[in-house]
Amino acid sequence: MTIALRYAARSHLGLGPKGRNEDSGYAGPHLLVLADGMGGHAAGDVASSMIVGALAPLDEEGFSGEQALRVLGAELRDANDRLREAMTEDPTLGGMGSTTIAMLRAGSKLAMAHIGDSRAYLLRDGELSQITKDHSFVQQLVDEHRITPTEAMHHPQRSLVTRVMTGHPDDEPDLSIRELRAGDRYLLCSDGLSDFVSREIIHEVVAASKSPEAAAEACIDIALKASTRDNVTVVIADVVDIDEAPSTNPQIVGAAAAIRPKGRRRTRAIPVSPAEKAAALTREVSGTPEEDEPVVLAEEATTPRVLLVRRLLVAAAAVVLLLSGGYAGWRWTQGQFFLGDDAGYVALYQGINQSLGPVTFSSKLERSDVLVSDLPELYQEQLRATVPFAAQADALERIDTLRAEAVTCRAQNAAGTKCGTTTPVATSSTSSTSSSTASSSSMPATPASSTGGTSDVSGPLANSAPARGATLGGFATPHASTVTP
C-alpha cells in the first residue's frame, strides 16, 4: 500500500503583548516542522526561521526509515551550530533559541525529532495521544511525583523549559521512529495552543474536523477564544492512501513565511515551489552566502595509542562542557523575570524563584507602589506563588494593569462591597474606610527583605534578552485552559 500526507499549517500572533510572531511552521509532502522561537527582546523569530530553513531541503529527498532518523538528527545539529554562529557574528541575536518538532516521512515510516515544550499529538482510531514529552521544569516535577498533571496545567512556572535549541553543543533532541498508518492524523502545536486549551477540547476539535485545513483553522480559533496570550501555530497532516496525488506545494507560516501581508495578524499557508526556496530563509536571516556541500572523508584506521589519546581528549572536553554548561544555565536564569509579593507590595524580580542550597537564582529589580492586599484574592494567590514573564517590558506592563485594578478594588471596598464579589462587607464607618484606603496606598518608609531574591537591584535592567520565559505573560483564570468552542 502506498501512502502520502495531506497537510496544512496555520499561525496567529495571539492576543498577548508580543508585537511579532516568533513561531515558524512548515508542512510539505515529506516534512513537517514546528519551531517556537524564544528570547523576548532577542530574535526568537530569527531562530525559528533559521531552523525551518535548515530542514526544508529534506522535503524533496527520499530516505529509508533509519537513514531518515540519522539525517534528521544531523541536520538539527547543523542548524544548532548555525544558531551559535549567527549569535557570534551578530551580538544583538544573543539569547535567541527555539523549540523544535520535526517529522520526516520515509515511505511508511516517520522519523521524529523533538526538543522543548512544543507538542505533537497523534489521533488514531478516535483516540488522541501525546507522542512527545515536554522538556520543561514542570514536567520534571510531574516525573518526580512532586505535583500532579492537573496541577502542572496551572503551575506558575510551567513555561520554563530545560532543553531547547540555543546553539550549545548539548542541545540534543529526542529521536524516534514511528509506523505510519492510513487514517492517522498528526498535530504539531506551539504552547500558544496547549497552554490555553485543554487536551479534551483539542481532541474534540481535531477529531471533528473533516480536513487538515479545517482542523488547523479550528485549533487557531479555539486558542483565540481561550484568549491565548502567546503566538499560536499548528501543523496538521493526515496519512492517506494515495488514490489521488495530493498537493506537493509546501506551506510555510509564521516568522518563516517568505511573504506576509503587512498588518495581518493571522498567517495562512503560503504555497512556495520549489521547496528549496525555504532553505534560503537561513541565508536571509543570518546573511550567510550559499556554500558547497562539505566533503565527507572515510573513517581512518585507529591504533590503540590513537584511541587512548581520543579518550583523554573526550574526557577533557566533558569537563569543559560541564563547567560551561553551569555558566550557561546561570545566564539563562538571568534572562527570566517574575512578579511576586515583597512585604505586601507587588515587586519585579530578575531570574527564577528557585534556589540551590544557599544559592538563589533571582534578584529584586524594583518594588512597585501596588499593595497586594488591594487586589482580588485570586491575584494575591498567584503573586504569592510568583508569576513568570518572558520579558521585563511585559512584567512592567502587567504592574500598570494591577495598579489600575487596585484602584478599582479600593473604590469597591470603600462602597461596602468586597472586591470581586457582590456581597457587602461590614464597615465601621465611611470615614474609617476612607482612612484605611488612604493608608494602604502609601509605600512604607523602609523596604522589607524580598522573598524571591537575595539582592536589591535599582534601576532598569541593562540588557534583557530572556532565553525563554512564561508564555502567558499575565494572570490566568482557574479555567483558562478548559473553554468550550
**Average pLDDT of the residues in 339-358:** 85
List, edge to edge, every strand of the sheet that includes 3-12: 127-130, 119-124, 185-189, 232-241, 3-12, 266-267
Going by pLDDT thresholds of 50, 70 and 90, the confidence category of residue 351 is: confident
Write down the mean pLDDT value for the chain. Answer: 77
The tens digit of pLDDT for each residue in 139-177 reads 889 888 898 888 887 787 877 889 999 999 999 999 999
List, edge to edge, every strand of the sheet that includes 359-371: 359-371, 345-356, 337-342, 387-389
CA nearest neighbour of 361 among 331, 393, 381:
331
- Distance, first Cα to last Cα, the chain: 37
Domains of the chain with bracketed CATH: 3-286 (3.60.40.10), 326-485 (no CATH)
259 vs 415, higher pLDDT: 415
Which of 1-10, 15-24, 244-253 bottoms out in mean pLDDT, i.e. has the lowest?
A: 244-253
Going by pLDDT thresholds of 50, 70 and 90, the confidence category of residue 1 is: low
Highest averaged pLDDT of the listed ranges 162-171, 260-269, 350-359? 162-171
Instruction: Please report the pLDDT score of residue 150 as a whole number.
Output: 81
The tens digit of pLDDT for each residue in 365-384 reads 999 999 999 998 888 888 88
| Cβ-based burial of 453 (10 A; exposed 0-12, middle 13-18, buried ≥19) | buried
The set of cell numbers assigned to 97 is: 533559541
Residue type, 396: L
d(CA 76, CA 82): 10
49 vs 320, higher pLDDT: 49
Query: Which residues on adjacent β-strands are paired with residue 141?
Result: none
The tens digit of pLDDT for each residue in 167-223 reads 999 999 999 999 999 999 999 999 999 999 999 999 999 999 999 999 999 999 999
**Average pLDDT of the residues in 82-105:** 93
Instruction: Please report the pLDDT score of residue 382 as a whole number.
Output: 86
The tens digit of pLDDT for each residue in 396-422 reads 989 999 998 888 888 888 887 777 544
Residue type, 478: P
Per-residue HEC secondary structure of 203-269 comes to HHHHHHCCCHHHHHHHHHHHHHHCCCCCCEEEEEEEEEECCCCCCCCCEEEECCCCCCCCCCCEECC
CA atoms within 13 Å, Cβ hemisphere of 192: 37
**Average pLDDT of the residues in 304-310:** 54
Q: DSSP for 385-434? A: H-EEESSHHHHHHHHHHHHHHHHHHHHHHHTTB-TTSSSB---S-HHHHH
Mark 244-263 as b/e (b = at least 16 C-beta within 10 Å).
Answer: eeebbebbbbbbbbeebeee
Confidence check: pLDDT of 227 > 80? yes
**Percent share of the chain, pLDDT over 70:** 68
CA nearest neighbour of 349 among 209, 470, 177:
470
Which of 1-10, 330-339, 400-409 bottoms out in mean pLDDT, i.e. has the lowest?
A: 330-339
202 vs 1, higher pLDDT: 202
- Contact between 464 and 392 under an 8 Å Cβ cutoff? The reply is yes
Confidence check: pLDDT of 325 > 70? no
**Average pLDDT of the residues in 354-371:** 82
**Percent share of the chain, pLDDT over 90:** 45
Beta-carbon contacts of residue 111 (< 8 Å; ≥ 6 apart): 63, 65, 68, 69, 71, 72, 103, 104, 105, 175, 176, 177
The tens digit of pLDDT for each residue in 17-76 reads 888 899 999 999 999 999 999 875 568 999 999 999 999 999 976 788 789 999 999 999
Going by pLDDT thresholds of 50, 70 and 90, the confidence category of residue 314 is: low
CA nearest neighbour of 173 among 68, 85, 102, 84:
102
CA nearest neighbour of 285 among 27, 39, 73, 52:
52
d(CA 467, CA 452): 20
Confidence check: pLDDT of 444 > 50? no
Confidence check: pLDDT of 287 > 60? no
Residue type, 335: G
Q: pTM of the prediction?
A: 0.58
CA nearest neighbour of 268 among 319, 233, 311, 301:
233
